[in-house]
Structure 1
């Protein structure tokens, strides 16, 4: 793709030995940033995670090396240490390295850990933000993250460590804020999380929604309420990856979705 020079006058060069931590968005290639496309067309080596759509990888320049380094909960996955070492090793070979991550690299994407590893090794890097699924998936489903009528804040939380007892009462504390909560990676721990939300003061009638496989052909959207959330997810066979919204804004889907035109 050629970009009009009067709109995009310059793009930074991806220098040999440099690493770019790039967000690939929630899945649909049309939701990539222009800078992400530039990186795909420039990289010698692409190290991608499990949530990067295969169509996005087809945008890589001819001859680029493609390495899979995906981490999926409950499945055999490379250790983060090994991924860090791979990124560093490829950069030391003076390759232009693209670390491509679903969503945004700095929102539950371990991009911060990888950036620290690069700093320790003296390897220059650039961050290219992407659309995080916790905001993009609900928006595309007709659920605004905020509205003046429903909330003045929104909480993003990772649910895969809900069984971690190092912070007892943390989920109850989030519920006590009364603000909508958007959960990433929470399906496996959903019964524990919803029980904690109820103990924290959220009513069973609190609106909730689940967006599974957002923007993909397998996308499924469940509208329900907090008290029924875990049981309905199980009964309907909702699978990861999924984003879960709990709060008053989830009810807006029934109002907005009928009039929405999807990308």
Structure 2
């Protein structure tokens, strides 16, 4: 796997409001809502731990940063980056620095691009991937380009507080070489993500995400696909602050003709992590 695509986190844009007070002769005050282009940003911190006491021990702390601009209610663009700390391993075999850079993205988003009736809405998102991770530099990654098509379904009309998004994606990597360390590098990643959320109250929510990935090398060979998932309980005390407690795990699944299918192991001790996250949006 060339790069790990970060779990998707969305920050709600904060629209400005203009209050137009009626004259003293009007018995009722009227409020009009207008949009003004504005900067959006967030800072997020995540601590994860697999609670293993042997060679599988894996704890880390990650800080993510986003700076964007909301041009219209539908169009936005910006940059996402971050750093993380590993307490028991290195960023790669060529560095001993425990503080590591995450992947840096330049992103653009167009929401509500097309609708089918009033139930299904299509969007469009793109990312330009910069080789800021040590692994990307080790494998001579020049850049990557990713495209996403989020498809939102208005299931809230049937189950109040429920949200559902299906998102296919395609990522193309450009490396200087086709192999590194005797291994074929990934040229394409095909993805399919499912996001389901339920809003219990104005402040409490639950989110489930399932991510399917297929990898194709420069040699045309397909790597074993992987399936990952995460479950998170969220608490949002204000419009800016968010806290989450979650669990994530992943597994590779095989062609039945080649070997067993370990999908039943998604909840075992193969690669589990419990995490605590917090973010501040402004």
Q: TM-score, normalised by structure 2?
A: 0.25
Structure number with greater CO (CA < 8 Å, separation at least 6) is: 1
Larger strand share, 1 or 2 = 2
* Higher fraction of helix: 1
Larger Rg: 2
